[in-house]
Amino acid sequence: MMNISIKKFFLENIGTKQTIFKNTFWLVVAEVVGGVLRFVLLIYVARILGANEYGKFTFAFSFVSVIVIFSDMGIIDIVTREFSRNKEKEKELSSLIALEVLLSLGALILMVVGSFFITSDRYIQRLIWVLSLFILSSSFFSIFLAFLRGRQKMEYEAAIKIVHTIILVGLSFFGIFYFSSAIALGYSYLIANVFSVIILLLFFHFYFQRISISFNKNMFNILKISWPLSLGYVPIWVYITVSSIMLGYFNLITQNGWYNAASKIALVAMLPADLIIRSFYPALSNFFVNSKEKLQKNWDYLMGLMIFLVMPTAVGGVTLAPKIIHFFYGPDFNSSIFPFQLFMIVVAITFIHYPYSVILIVSDHQKKNFLLILAGILMNVILNVILIPLYGFYGAIISVIISSLAILFLTIITSKKYIEISLFNTKLLKYSIIAGLFSFVMFLVLNLPFIWHLNIFYSVAIGALTYAVLCLLLYRIYKNALFN
C-alpha cells in the first residue's frame, strides 16, 4: 500500500501543491542528470579545444541560438499556457506541428544567409550551417514537451530529456575524442539530435497522440498571440548570446572563449529558477482564470522561493569563483574568474526578474513583456558597440548587467500597474532580510581557511548545508511569527 501511495504521489496529479512538487521533482531530476552530463561535456570540450577553438564554437552556437527564435515565435510557452487551461486545445497539435515546420524552414534560410554577413571565416560559416540543423531539430522536441507541460506530466518530460542527453553527450564525447575540432562536435550534436527526434516521435505517436501535420488557416491563429513570447520569459540569455555574437563580430575570438566559459557556469546556476518557473507556470495560468486568491497564494510561494535561492547562489558564486574556474577549466582560463563573479550579479537579477515577467505572461500581457525585452536588447546592443571596443569582453558583461537591471525595474513597474495581486509585501520583505543574513553567515563559513582549501564540491556542500540548516532552524523556532 505504501508503494502504491508513493507511486501515485510521484506519477499522478492529486492536488495543487503535490502537482507542483511532483513536477519540480521530475524537472530537477532531468536537469541534474542532464545538466551534469552536459556540463562535464562542455568542460571537457573547453579543455580539449582551448580558448580559441572553443571561442569559434560558442560564437557559431550563439548566432544560431538567436536566429532560432524565428522557428519558435513563442509557440512553446503559449501551447503550455493554453493546453493547461483547456484540454480541447490539444486537438490543434497537428496544425502547430505544421506551423513549426514552416517557421523552421524560414529560420534555416536566415541562418545560412546570415552566416555570410556575420563572418568571412569559411570554417565558422560551415560550423554555423551544421549547428543550424542541430538547433532546428531541437525545436521539435519543444513542441511535444509543451504538450506534456500543459498536462502537467513532467515525469515524461524528464525521461525524454535524460535519454536525449545521454545520446547527445555520448556521441559528442566520441566526436571530440577522435577528431578534436569544433566542426566534429557540431556534427556529433546534429547526429545525436536526429536520432533522438526519431525516438521521441515514435514514443509520442504510440503513447499519447497520433502525430499528423495539418496545413490550414487556423494554424496561424496561435501565432497571433504567441509571437510576443518569442524571446522567452526573461531576456538574460538573449543579452548573453547577443554579446557573444558581437565579441565574435569584433574578432575577439579568444576573449569570447573566456566570456562563454564564465557565462556557461553562470547559466547552470540559473537552472533552479528555471525549473521552479516551469513548475509554477501551468498552475499560475490556470489560477489566473479560475481563482485570484490561489493566484496570490502561489505567487507568494514562488517569490519566496526565489528570494531564498538567489541570496546564497549569488554570494556563494562570487566567493568561490576562483576555485570554480580553476577546478573546471584550469589555469588557461584564469581570465574567466572576474567575469564569472560579474555574471553572478546577472544571475541574482534574473532570479528576481523571473516571477515578474511570468506574471505578466499568465495575465495575458505578453506583448508588454516582449516590448520590455526588445528595449533591453536594443540597449544591450548599443552598450556593446560602445563598450566592447574600449574594454573587450568586460565591456560585453557590463552591457549585460546594465541592460538586465534596467529591464528588471521596468518590468516591476509594469507588473505593478497592470496586475491586480500584491506583488511585494511584508512577508517577502522578511524573507529578504532573513536570506541576506543567512547568506552572510555562509560567506563567513566559506572563507574559513580549512573550508576554503577543501575540494570545491566539499566547499559548495558545506556552504549549502550551513544555509539550509539556518533556514530550517529558524522555520522550526519562529514558524508562526515569520512565515505567516
Neighbours of 83 (CB within 10 A): 23
Residue 342 is predicted with a pLDDT of 92
Residue 5 is predicted with a pLDDT of 64
The C-alpha angle 110, 113, 115, rounded to 5 degrees, equals 100
Alpha helices in 119-252 (DSSP H): 122-150, 154-179, 182-207, 221-226, 236-249
Which range in 13-27, 305-319, 416-430, 463-477 is most confidently predicted, on average pLDDT?
305-319
Note the pLDDT tens digit of each residue in 82-124.
666 666 666 777 777 787 788 888 888 888 898 888 888 888 8
Note the pLDDT tens digit of each residue in 356-385.
888 888 887 878 888 888 888 899 999 999
Residue 182 is predicted with a pLDDT of 85
Task: Calculate the average pLDDT of the chain.
Answer: 81
pTM for this prediction: 0.68
Of 321, 306, 312, 218, the residue nearest 266 (C-alpha): 321
Average pLDDT score over residue span 421-428: 76
Average pLDDT score over residue span 117-139: 85
Residue 234 is predicted with a pLDDT of 63
Tell me which long-range contacts 447-452 makes (C-beta under 8 A, separation of at least 24).
447/319, 452/323
Instruction: State the cell numbers at 212.
Output: 499528423
Residue 315's pLDDT band (boundaries 50, 70, 90)? very high
Residue 219 is predicted with a pLDDT of 67
* Contact of 61 with 182, CB cutoff 8 Å: no
* Contact of 304 with 44, CB cutoff 8 Å: no
Residue 3 is predicted with a pLDDT of 46
Answer whether residue 482 shows pLDDT above 60: no
* Contact of 71 with 133, CB cutoff 8 Å: no
Residue 28 is predicted with a pLDDT of 75
Based on DSSP, count helices (H) and strands (E) in the chain, helices before strands: 19, 0
Residue 444 is predicted with a pLDDT of 94
